[in-house]
Amino acid sequence: MLTFPRSRRLILAALGFASGAALPAMAQSAPAQTGCTSAQHRQFDFWVGRWDVRRPDGRAAGTNEIERVLDGCALVERWTGAGASRGMSLNFYDAAAGRWRQSWVDNQGQPLLLVGGLRDGRMVLESATPDSAARQRITWTPLPGGDVRQLWETSADGGVTWSTAFDGRYSRRP
């Protein structure tokens, strides 16, 4: 049998009493709300769906599936390129920071961490380390008819000039 010093027995007894006293009150309280239902958590919902993705010249770039997960608290992206590329991202609204975050990794082990938010109806996420000279910026723009444009830009000079790394038009798959 374990024996504790008198002071520790008093603390344990007090904790037991306090937790026991709280149990009936907790049992009577309303169940905790699950999911992320704020308007901010819904800002990226225009990207949810199954998509065919094409380059500006009409060539197939790949397919993408974006779904809500974790009771609406996150979006998971599953990319399959027209070649051998594949990748996934986890996207979520960080309520404490008031920003969206994306963590991406592809089948070459290349990670990309982005942060940002909704600007003029477009989702704009940028490199998580803005002090780096090499910067990334991806903008998703809802288009008339339900399509989405994804424009990925890179900057080697800290954001002074940008060049296009990828430009794709998302069309919903039947």
Q: Can you spell out the DSSP letters for the chain?
A: -----HHHHHHHHHHHHHHHHHHHHHHHSPPPPPS--STGGGTTGGG-EEEEEE-TTS-EEEEEEEEEETTTTEEEEEEEESSS-EEEEEEEEETTTTEEEEEEEETT--EEEEEEEEETTEEEEEES-TTSSSEEEEEEEE-GGG-EEEEEEEESSTTSS-EEEEEEEEEE--
pLDDT for position 17: 35
Annotated domain spans of the chain:
40-172
Alpha-carbon distance of 56 to 158, in angstroms, equals 27
pLDDT for position 141: 98
pLDDT for position 145: 95
pLDDT for position 33: 58
User: Among 109, 36, 105, 40, which residue's Cα sits nearest to residue 76?
Assistant: 105
Alpha-carbon distance of 8 to 14, in angstroms, equals 10
pLDDT for position 34: 66
pLDDT for position 29: 53
pLDDT for position 19: 40
pLDDT for position 128: 76
Per-residue pLDDT tens digits of the chain, which is 174 residues long:
444 444 444 333 333 433 444 434 444 555 555 679 999 999 999 999 999 999 999 999 999 999 999 999 999 999 999 999 999 999 999 999 999 999 999 999 999 999 999 999 999 999 977 677 889 999 999 999 999 999 999 999 988 999 999 999 999 998
CATH of range 40-172; options 1.10.10.10, 2.40.128.20, 3.40.50.2000, 3.90.1150.200: 2.40.128.20
